[in-house]
Structures are given as C-alpha cells and as structure tokens.
Amino acid sequence: MIIGKISENREALIELEVIGVNWQQRIVATIDTGFDGYLTLPLYMINRLGLRPAGYRQAILGDGNRAVFNLFRARVVWVSKTCEVPVLQVEGDPLVGMALLDGNRVIMNVVKDGQVRIENLP
C-alpha cells in the first residue's frame, strides 16, 4: 500500500522510491489522471539517478499539441514490489500517470491534508 496526502492546491501527492544505475531516491510525485504514461521526471533527477536513455516517445499534450520527449527506464518500488517503468523527461515536478496506477485502487479524501491510499486490486 502507498499512503500519500492531498496538498493545499488539491494535488494528490505520493512518495515513491526510484532506483537508477547510480543512485536511488525517494521522490514526491503528483498523481495526474490526464497522463496515460507511467512516470515523468525532470532532467536533474534523471541525471542524479544515472538513468540511461531508451529512445524517444511522442505524446499528445492536454492542449492537443504533439511533443517528443526523451525516454528513460527506471525501477520503482510500487505497492511493495519493484518494477521497471518507462520515464519521460519533462520540466516540472514528477508525475505518476494512469499506466502506473493500472491494476490498483486509488482512494482519496480530497480535503487539505486528506489521505491518498493506493492498494492492489484483489
């Protein structure tokens, strides 16, 4: 189970352990239900973790425009197990997308400091 909280700005925040080649780091990421991928990270985190390039990924942004992102691979500790996931390089804070949430139940109490709970579906 992963436990997080709702921020003052009504963002669902969770902590994840991200494992790279050189480093592993606990990060705070925002759940983004409009993002159909797995995980985004900014370049400075990608460099610190020592993630290796894995190509490029084209995506359609919320405004309908297409963009190309650098793609990397990382391991994350997700609901008590370690899995390898694709990571898109973006500017801004880390995001967890719907692909990483797939197969899980997400329960949110959407009030300031409300609990966010992610657990495997039975």
What confidence tens digit (pLDDT) does each residue in 22-61 have?
899 999 999 999 999 999 999 999 999 999 999 999 988 8
The total number of structural domains in the chain stands at 1
Whole-prediction pTM value?
0.93
20 contacts 74 by C-beta, under 8 angstroms:
yes
Residue 72: give its domain's CATH number. Answer: 2.40.70.10
Question: Average pLDDT, stretch 69-80?
Answer: 95
Residue 67's domain spans which residues? 13-102
| 89 part of a folded domain | yes
41 contacts 90 by C-beta, under 8 angstroms:
yes
| 110 part of a folded domain | no
- Integer Cα distance of 116 and 47 in angstroms: 29
What confidence tens digit (pLDDT) does each residue in 83-96 have?
999 999 999 999 99
Cα angle for residues 19, 20, 21 (degrees, 5° grid): 135
| 112 part of a folded domain | no
The yes-or-no verdict on residue 62 having pLDDT over 90 is: no
| 31 part of a folded domain | yes
- Integer Cα distance of 9 and 22 in angstroms: 33
Query: Across the chain, how many H-helices and E-strands are there?
Result: 2, 10
From 25, 10, 2, select the one nearest 104 (Cα to Cα): 2
Q: Across-strand partners of 40?
A: 88, 95
What confidence tens digit (pLDDT) does each residue in 2-29 have?
999 999 999 999 999 999 998 999 999 9
pLDDT bin (cut points 50, 70, 90) of residue 105 is very high
| 119 part of a folded domain | no
